[in-house]
Structure 1
Amino acid sequence: MSQKITVLMTVVLLGFVAVVGVAIIQVKNLADISARLTSANLPLIHSASNIGFLIQAQYTSAQRIILSNTTESSMSPLLNVVSFNGVEFLESGLLLQQTIAEVETRIRVLASEEGSQHTMVAENKSSLLSILFELRRSTQGYQKKVEAWLQSRPTSANTGAMLSQLSGIEVLTDKYFLAFDEMIKSVNQDTESEVFFEEKIAIGLIILTTLLALVLVLTIMYVIVRNVIAKPLQQLTDTINVFAPLHKVEESEFEKSIILRQDELGRMGRSFNRLKHDLWTQGEDLAKAINEAERANRAKSVFLASASHDLRQPLSAMQMYIAALRQKVESQDIVKIVDDIDAVSVSTTLLLNALLDVSQLEAGAIKPTKENFCVQNLLQSVARAYLPLAEEKGIRLRIVPCHVYLYSDITLVERIISNFVSNALRYTRSGSVLVGCRRRQQHLCIEVMDTGCGIPKHQLAPIFDDFYQLDNKERDRGKGLGLGLAIAKRLSICLDHDIECDSNLGRGSRFAVQVDLGYATMNPNTSTLSNLGVKSLLGERILLIEDNLEVQKASKQLLESWGCVVHCAQDAAEALAWASGASQTIPGLILADHRLPGVANGVEAAQRVCMTLGLDIPTIIVTGDVDDNHIKGIKEQGYLVLCKPVRPAKLRAAISNHL
């Protein structure tokens, strides 16, 4: 076996050396051909270009001489001012003849050099010299014709005839030059083809050399591995297979014997033994790190929830104070200041909501809970939220009813559609925004179409990036933050839904999301949208349950500015105490914060008040915790949920439609 391997290695090595030698010779030939191309063909091409330039210069000089020596001024008034002589013409003609002679000499030298008998230049020597001879005779005749005309007395009468004769010579000269130029290019192309062929042969030999070298290396490695390492390594591998990173294994007798060896395998055994103990230590550290990461992730989720709730509370109070203040201010100057404050408040609210949404999506805190639902409920919720804003801007918000059932997370899909509608209202100055559905096989495409400014084609993809906005380099917060579509894109990925976007610049845009079809449930809530709107709240009694005194005070002032009669409570116990003695003043609506002190939350407090009064009172739950599962749990109990900070217009619309 060893003798066969040795013979094989010898044959491979000899073949390798032979192919390397041939490859080196071929590469040298390729270099010689390339050098010959550079030293022969390129100068000829340059010379042909130079001859063409000199011929044109001869033509130009001859025409200037003829026109400048014409006696009649009417032929060229400008040329009469400057008098031309024949010096320039004679110099260009002399230079042309010298250049043609140099090219002829170069062709003869290249064709007679040693080793050049079979080159393209040598094979086409006769044709090239013949064409150059005719070219030289033609240009000489041209020059003599002009010189003879100059020695006579040029007049305007014989100028036309002279130009006609010269034109005929020019045609013949151009014919010879084009033939020479084409032949030079053909010689160059043939030489390049020869170089390309030699190059392919050289590359093929180099590849063959590489393959033989690879075979040689693999053969040597096979011999070494087979005779020296394979069997001991197999036994060591059997020992390794019983080891797990988090399961400590003692050294076997064979492993101990390997460790005591002083050769390469012994060093490998000792390295493996050290690696095994390191893996055991790292496994323990990894388990600790995983526990720490899980703890940090839980802490981050708690922080996001706490920060969300704590930051939304003062913003909600501020917006209600601003809305209440606007109701009481009569001076237009002060109203303008209040509007500016409201704009800053809204911008801050949008930024906070968007950043918290992005943080939750990046952290993976939002987990979709898919269920069957009627898309009409989603459309109704979107209409209720954005009809006041559309009416304020004078835009018609049209909702096409649809009673198809879908299978997805209704809260997350609603957030996607809400972002589409919000964008459409923001970038539509006049006209309408349409929300409708289109069925596509096993999906329902929910579409939002507007008559706004439209989006350029090259910006349809970047608009889904974070903080990307069209025509808002100054970062005007009144134009949004550039996070709405980015959040919609993240939510679609989370739900595994496709988003579509197309637009016509200046005519409007269309955004859509495809949702899987579902099936009907037992309680289809398919109320119409006809009753959505803002009604008068004068004299309406409202029970406000809010533990944050600033938010409670601001909410009360806002509700009273709308004409409501407000009763306040800080927790469930205080609300029950008021309800027990309020049989003659039953509230028309309960507005409760969800997070209340004590054991009862807002939903439980509202339920206890209803039980005490013996009535089913409409209830709206307001919360600063925007976790989707939290909001979904409240909605599943049949309550409308508003997330803090609540826009006053949205709050009024919700109250109007629930009373």
Structure 2
Amino acid sequence: MVKASRLPEDRMLVEQLRLQLGNIGASVIPTILLALLLVWVLSNESNALAMRAWAGIIILIKLYLARDARRLLATEISPASARGLLMRKLVLNLIDGAAWGSLAWAALGTTTMAGNVLVLAVLAGVAGSSMSSLAPIFPAFIVFGATELIVLGSKLWTMGDPAYDALGVAAIIYSAALVGQARNGSRAARRAIGLRFENHELIERLRIETEHAQAAHRTAEDANLAKSRFLAAASHDLRQPIHAQGLFLEVLARSKLSADQYDALANARATWQASAEMLDTLLDFSRIEAGVVEPQMQVFPLQPLLNKIENELAPQADAKGIVYRSRETHAAVRSDPALVALILRNLVSNAIRYTEQGGVLVACRARGEQMLIEVWDTGIGIEPAQHQAVFREFHQLGNAERDRRKGLGLGLAIAQGLARALGQPLALVSTPGRGSVFRLALPAARAGVVAEGAAEAMPGPARMFDLRVLVIDDDESVRTGMRQLLGAWGCVCDAADSIEEAQALARAHRPGLVISDYRLRELRTGAEAIAALRAEFGADLPALLITGDTAPQRLREARATGVPLLHKPVLPSQLYRAMSAVLMGRELDSSFAGLEMRRA
């Protein structure tokens, strides 16, 4: 940080010169008026010529000083030329001081007593005024004041009157006081100049740091955007074959197989399920990033949800030899049950993953008008410095080798993003080596109040469909798999790989349902295909969109169509339920359609 005392002397002198030169212009008109007034008041037959000569010299000097100051201020004063300008300034002030002091020689002793008093008062006032205007350059004031005092004192000394001698002594004392004030003014000016430079350097440093921060922020945004694009593209390309694989496995499961073949099929389906769950995790995170998660608020009891999570995840805890417990509760909350279930599922899975001994406890307790759902574990704990980092995407503790069995590092990022979508805080308290507790706060509600449709019954045994379905997808394996699966459900399936082919097939045989992939060839979309078919066959034509895209922009575009949207890989049971809902005129949850079915 630059201090006034540390500022280079030549640089300081340049600013002192500019500050003093800026003071000159304001004194031009007062000086001219004062000189003319003194000539008018003090002139008489004995001193008229001397007074006029004195006034002319004073006016010329002041005009020259003002013009010179204006010229110098209009140019850039370099530190190398500052010393020369200072010497020039001292010479000019010596001349100016001598000119003002010569007023005593022109007027004292040639005018009345009142005139003599006026002369001394004017010279004292000029000395005081020069103290403030010349203070930025202390030597300039010393030269001006000393010269004026010497010229005035020499005149008083020659007058041979003790009273004037006393006035000379008083002038010396007055000048000494002015010198002290001028020194203080010069120091204040130097401090002000130093502070101004300090502020300028701080501002410049802040500007540079801001530019660096903005550049780093842009770089981070570009990297994040590139990451999102890569994940979206990779996820889409992976979803296509995995989606088709699931369809074929479902068809194969309906075939007559030997015991060994059934075992192989079970292993294949388990592997497919693991791959699908990883892709679903990426999809959940992409939905949060895209901002398409809209909570569907309703009142629901917590205990059925806790039971469901325990039934699903307790076997994982048992396999690790740790205890899984959830306390019974009669509490009800107002929130989105699907989002709350996904938050708790991620928190509990994370707790089981990082707990090697002891156990995991899920409990609820009231706090004011809120219910706190807490997930306790006796795992490795989290260092305080990591409390924020664990909520970042792809951040994992103790998984430098990126073991896929430990997940993708998205669970806590998804949980926090969903909690933010619900408008509720997700808190963490942890002690390294002893365990952690995650707390989700939800608005409490009366347990007896349940929103309409919250306890909707699960569908009964699968029934056979009796309709013609038009499938639009540019992937041959997906079309083949859909034909076989829909055929097993009693459907007549027509499959097209473009909008034009779909329109031709629909004109030949009017479909009862359209199922279209969102991304088609030539940058066209399933939304366009459905819109074209509805324009021809009626706006009430049932339709479903299926997409493998996870790019935030694509998710927003697909969701804006208003057509129910499923995400690859689609479980056959999820597709079955979605078809049943659309054909019966029911709406799907547009933000996390089929989430619970996919996770079941």
Could you state the TM-score of these two structures normalised by the residue count of structure 1? 0.43
Q: TM-score, normalised by structure 2?
A: 0.46
